[in-house]
Amino acid sequence: MTAEPLGRIHVPAMDEILGRPFQVLDNGFVRVIDYMGSDESIVQAARVSYGTGTKKARQDRTLIRYLIRHHHTTPFEMCELKLHVRVPMDCWRQWIRHRTANVNEYSTRYSIAIDAAQTTTPGGWRFQALSNRQGSSGFLEEAKGIKLSEREHEIQDLARKVYNERLDADVAREQARKDLPLCTYTEAYWKIDLSNLLHFLSLRMEEHAQLEIRLYAETIGNEIVSRWCPLAWEAFNDYRVDAVSFSKDEQALLRVLFREGPSAAVRLAESLGWLPVENGKPSQHFERSEFEQKLGKMGIALPWQTGTP
Amino acid sequence: MTAEPLGRIHVPAMDEILGRPFQVLDNGFVRVIDYMGSDESIVQAARVSYGTGTKKARQDRTLIRYLIRHHHTTPFEMCELKLHVRVPMDCWRQWIRHRTANVNEYSTRYSIAIDAAQTTTPGGWRFQALSNRQGSSGFLEEAKGIKLSEREHEIQDLARKVYNERLDADVAREQARKDLPLCTYTEAYWKIDLSNLLHFLSLRMEEHAQLEIRLYAETIGNEIVSRWCPLAWEAFNDYRVDAVSFSKDEQALLRVLFREGPSAAVRLAESLGWLPVENGKPSQHFERSEFEQKLGKMGIALPWQTGTP
Amino acid sequence: MTAEPLGRIHVPAMDEILGRPFQVLDNGFVRVIDYMGSDESIVQAARVSYGTGTKKARQDRTLIRYLIRHHHTTPFEMCELKLHVRVPMDCWRQWIRHRTANVNEYSTRYSIAIDAAQTTTPGGWRFQALSNRQGSSGFLEEAKGIKLSEREHEIQDLARKVYNERLDADVAREQARKDLPLCTYTEAYWKIDLSNLLHFLSLRMEEHAQLEIRLYAETIGNEIVSRWCPLAWEAFNDYRVDAVSFSKDEQALLRVLFREGPSAAVRLAESLGWLPVENGKPSQHFERSEFEQKLGKMGIALPWQTGTP
Amino acid sequence: MTAEPLGRIHVPAMDEILGRPFQVLDNGFVRVIDYMGSDESIVQAARVSYGTGTKKARQDRTLIRYLIRHHHTTPFEMCELKLHVRVPMDCWRQWIRHRTANVNEYSTRYSIAIDAAQTTTPGGWRFQALSNRQGSSGFLEEAKGIKLSEREHEIQDLARKVYNERLDADVAREQARKDLPLCTYTEAYWKIDLSNLLHFLSLRMEEHAQLEIRLYAETIGNEIVSRWCPLAWEAFNDYRVDAVSFSKDEQALLRVLFREGPSAAVRLAESLGWLPVENGKPSQHFERSEFEQKLGKMGIALPWQTGTP
């Protein structure tokens, strides 16, 4: 392997947005502080593994798509992104669970807490989801929302007053902050490699992720990664975000459906316990519902009656 | 290496406290759910490295002390501890920054938030530290504390009311929680290996750590690790917690002090910029203050006048 | 959450095999030293997230399958396995690339290298794969293998002689070992949580993994994990190992195939560049070949002519 | 915190050496492929924690030294370095044990193994250390070395021949490599943040590290980190590499020595078991020897007779 002189890799589309905040929520943002590498670096690292002889063997796009398709993740670790983010703390609590990142957070032990908490518009209050015990679904009517937003203002206002009273009494900042609302904004530098970033995005852009962090994830993906490593971003969407997976049982159902027809598929589903009946009526079965959605996306007619709950 | 039959390693002193909560703060706790290994496992793992021939070469205690002294950390990774903890969220925010642990936290998206927030007694309000911008030092007089505790009750009470109003209006739990106080209690299973646990303890038992997390760290160390791996715990205290380190400059000062006497040491300190003067008076110098404390602990007289700020 | 007294979780099927070596290759093994947790611990940890109220809401098996299906990996991190393994070093080089594990390896700096290198039977020499540049495929005829195995013996024999000569000359063990064959056996304690272990197995039981490490992975999976956490093992196989994933393009092809028929599917495949022609003949296209295999498994007839390379 | 426009941070001294190989051993090298950040980025990240108000409060050098002194490691994680290295595999086996790095290694499954193994000059054969069972110490006389180097040539030569015979017989590369010498060169891209790099250097530049990896570590430290982040490098040397630590017992000995004189110190050492006697003669005690070395560096006379083994 020759050791040729090198220049640093630059991505002009990234240099253009360096330091520019993309707004998220009422008072949050994401902005790029620095980056290392590009699509080209992924290819460069993959080719270390393959040795010099193969340099022209595949085109870059084909290689990147191959790597994503076959879960060869290490070349994507060769790209690194450093962001400056401003996020409500309850959203940050979810964010920080991703452990393979470097973090420097604004310290409310050292400094006075940022004077901003996430607020909700009267139309922005979400219903508890029925089907998904941990999610939300749809919005409350605005009349109810007005009252809720007033009370939100009231509690945030009192919390800040109490905080300031403590500071005025010379209470330590580390203790004074204890009753600030969970949605008080914090800031952080967050640095992560592209492989782990894509994993973060796949979990946090997903429809079951909480709306707030989903908005951050979508901003990072659509505004930043798409500019930084467009080939990796495209492949990630084609083979991860927009992919669909069939389990062993689902494949068996499809096989029977195609080879033996709908009634055989119904019989198999029954034997798998996928068509439960309660009080004489078909009842809910999560795994079957998920399968029905997948069939719908593929344009395949359901072998059993639609409209089962 | 022979592959003899094995029984599982048990530590009777741990089996006794399994599941028993040790209270921390007004409403928190730490309790052991499970553990893997013991002092014996550390030795066993270290001896894999050394091969069979040396099995009796060193006594266990000597070997464990040697490993700690020389930063051979991997054998300590062979022990694993699983705790169930109940902690205020603002304390948990510091805790979770230790990335090499496994975590399952109580979900306030899925379930209703725990109805408890950390409260402060009138005598429990701490002053902002002067010397250390991020710490606290001493307590406010109780008369002032009474008022602060009343206001704490008021804000916590309102926050819980607002939370319940939202739930009553069928707002999603993931959104309803947003204005709960930062010190609302959460619970988690937290699993970590002994090497990373000792690192956690060395940082969180330290005097600059915030009081709340320090109390948790001390409970884990003194009540749990001391029972689980007493030899490792003793060595950790002798070679880490109670050790003192001298930098290159500090060693140079000591060398000059011992060989040439106090005035030579003062001259060296001056040339290092350790004895700054402001408006004709000696002024603060953090590194010198730290050195003075170390000399004090060793019983060595200061070469310069004591009482410099 | 109540803090009831606890006993340690035991898995009788694991206690039975504790310390018992499962042979792999000619001279290697895998044996269980200790374990923490079981299927029950996965459920227990998941329910911390869900709070007390839901304890009986789902059956254990259903919950574990749900967790695997939806990539909720953290409860699986609550189980920990400690193995003692004996592995050729060139296989260990692949093994050790999995970073989220704890390791104590036999030290050939400290001790004399294990006197065993992996040997190959005359029938065990594998051909370089044609389709997959990094794999193998089929076996050389035994006549050729005899010669190769003789030469293997010769080189391993000389390497050991040279090693011993160096030791006899009092050369440091750390240097004497430098020309031992890559396939010299080493031993290690290897400790990992179940979530990361399943990830390891999914990559190393895969058909593209090298045969040697695949044999270790299969032994760990089929002999150990299947006994330790049978529900997790079953779910892992159904939703990971035996699952099949369709990319965005593949779904589009299926949709067109089902709705508009084979000729429309062929037109789409052509427009995607999946049916390249070279010198008037259909040429190789990796992604199409992978798709054809998936269709085969589902019992769906190919829309284009089979037999394309 | 304002969100000002940003340029990328450049370090001219690094740009100059980009891609340039620094030779290590007979055939190895280390060269910089890319970097993110500088001393300035460490300061920038630390100040996120401290908020805007303190921007001019401390000079950069003082702040960086404070961070290192107090083990505030996270700001150093904000700098990232990507190297291309060429290393003997037995040295790489030690290197790869540092888990918090990103790696792409040359694949000898995919490509033909690099045709180079580390060779030893007749004067380069090291003795097994007596005091340290895992180290080396001094060199064998050249007359003996000549013979050893000849045999090294012989075994390396045969190993390469056997490898080529296998390739000629169309044996899979993944299997053909199995009897190559451990010191065969490999190459890799290795990417790591500054905090973890300094930890790597502190362990691998240490006198007990094997000579080969020590040479790599010294090259990375002295040639690269010193150019990249000179302030961090200086502080790291002053507070880590050149620091000395005294355990609880060692401090007690010093305290007694200074306050009560040498005979009291001897009595304490005896009661600690530091002055063992075997067959009427003083015998070896590792911890005491280490203490004696530290006293020597500080210019403090030993309280007991020197020359004890």
pLDDT digits (tens, 9 = 90+) for D204-249: 999 999 999 999 999 999 999 999 999 999 999 999 999 999 999 9
pLDDT of residue D56 exceeding 60: no
Which of C244, C254, C259, C293 is the best substitution to test chain A (most A C-beta atoms within 10 A)?
C244
User: Going edge to edge, which strands form the sheet with A28-36?
Assistant: A22-24, A28-36, A80-88, A185-193, A102-105
User: What single-letter amino acid sits at A274?
Assistant: W
Per-residue model confidence as pLDDT tens digits over B73-82 = 999 999 999 9
Per DSSP, the three-state class of A187 is: strand
In DSSP notation, B224-247 reads IIHHH-HHHHHHHIIIIIT-EEE-
Chain A with chain B: Cβ pairs closer than 8 A? 160
Neighbours of C256 (CB within 10 A): 20
Per-residue model confidence as pLDDT tens digits over D154-211 = 999 999 999 999 999 999 999 999 999 999 999 999 999 999 999 999 999 999 999 9
Of these residues, C47, C65, C86, C204, which one is catalytic?
C204
Q: Are A151 and B165 in contact (CB under 8 A)?
A: yes
Which of D189, D193, D197 is the best substitution to test chain A (most A C-beta atoms within 10 A)?
D189
CA distance A220 to A225: 6
Average pLDDT of span B83-104: 96
Q: Closest to D210 (Cβ–Cβ): which among C109, C152, C171?
A: C109
CA distance C251 to chain A (A): 6
pLDDT of residue B150 exceeding 90: yes
pLDDT of residue A3: 54
Q: Closest to C102 (Cβ–Cβ): which among B31, B34, B74?
A: B74
Neighbours of A284 (CB within 10 A): 11
Angle at B38 between CA B36 and CA B41, to 5 degrees: 90
Which of A104, A161, A182, A184 is the best substitution to test chain B (most B C-beta atoms within 10 A)?
A182
Residue A105 vs residue D57, higher pLDDT = A105
In chain D, what percentage of residues exceed pLDDT 90?
Answer: 80
Contacts with C236 (C-beta within 8 Å, 6 or more apart), sequence order:
C68, C198, C201, C202
C91-116 core/surface letters (b: 16 or more CB in 10 A; e: else) = bbbbbbebbbbbbbbbbbbbbebbeb
With CB atoms and an 8 Å threshold, state whether A243 touches C247. Answer: yes
Chain A CB contacts of B90 below 8 Å: 177-178
CA distance A300 to chain B (A): 34
pLDDT of residue B56: 52
pLDDT of residue D271 exceeding 80: yes
Q: How many Å is the maximal CA-CA distance in chain D?
A: 79
With CB atoms and an 8 Å threshold, state whether B136 touches A175. Answer: yes
Q: Closest to D298 (Cβ–Cβ): which among B203, B242, B258?
A: B258
Reference B29, options B216, B222, B223; nearest CA is B216
Per-residue model confidence as pLDDT tens digits over B162-216 = 999 999 999 999 999 999 999 999 999 999 999 999 999 999 999 999 999 999 9
Contacts with B69 (C-beta within 8 Å, 6 or more apart), sequence order:
B235, B239, D247, D287, D290
Per-residue model confidence as pLDDT tens digits over D92-108 = 999 999 999 999 999 99
Question: Which chain A residue lies closest to B100 (C-alpha atoms)?
Answer: A99
Question: Which chain C residue lies closest to D129 (C-alpha atoms)?
Answer: C172
CA distance C202 to C188: 21
Burial class (CB in 10 A: 0-12, 13-18, 19+), C88: buried
pLDDT of residue A44: 92
CA distance D32 to D212: 19
Chain C CB contacts of B74 below 8 Å: 102-104
Burial class (CB in 10 A: 0-12, 13-18, 19+), A264: middle
Chain A CB contacts of D192 below 8 Å: none
Neighbours of B137 (CB within 10 A): 12
Per-residue model confidence as pLDDT tens digits over A236-295 = 999 999 999 999 999 999 999 988 999 999 999 999 999 998 888 888 888 999 999 999
Calculate the dihedral angle through the C-alpha atoms of A49, A54, A55, A61, rounding to the nearest 10 degrees: -80
Chain A CB contacts of D48 below 8 Å: 84, 104-106, 187-189
pLDDT of residue B1: 47
Per-residue model confidence as pLDDT tens digits over B13-29 = 999 999 999 999 999 99
Q: Closest to C49 (Cβ–Cβ): which among B37, B44, B106?
A: B106
- Residues of D marked active site are found at 204
Which of D247, D253, D259 is the best substitution to test chain B (most B C-beta atoms within 10 A)?
D247
CA distance B194 to chain D (A): 17
In DSSP notation, A207-259 reads TTS-HHHHHHHHHIIIIIIHHH-HHHHHHHIIIIIT-EEE-HHHHHHHHHHHH
Chain C with chain D: Cβ pairs closer than 8 A? 160
Q: Closest to D104 (Cβ–Cβ): which among A20, A21, A49?
A: A49
Reference A89, options B148, B108, B128; nearest CA is B108
Residue labelled with tokens 């890319």:
D34
Q: Residue ranges of chain A with pLDDT lower than 50?
A: 1, 53-54, 57, 309
Reference C82, options C185, C224, C198; nearest CA is C224
Distances (CA, A) of C18 to B5, B244, C10, C159, C217: 7, 43, 12, 35, 18
Average pLDDT of span B238-246: 95
Per-residue model confidence as pLDDT tens digits over D98-145 = 999 999 999 999 899 999 999 999 999 999 988 777 788 899 999 999
CA distance C156 to chain A (A): 27
With CB atoms and an 8 Å threshold, state whether C74 touches B104. Answer: yes
Q: Which chains touch C (3 or more CB pairs under 8 A)?
A: A, B, D
Chain D CB contacts of B259 below 8 Å: 299
Chain C CB contacts of B31 below 8 Å: 3
Q: Closest to C243 (Cβ–Cβ): which among A70, A242, A248?
A: A248
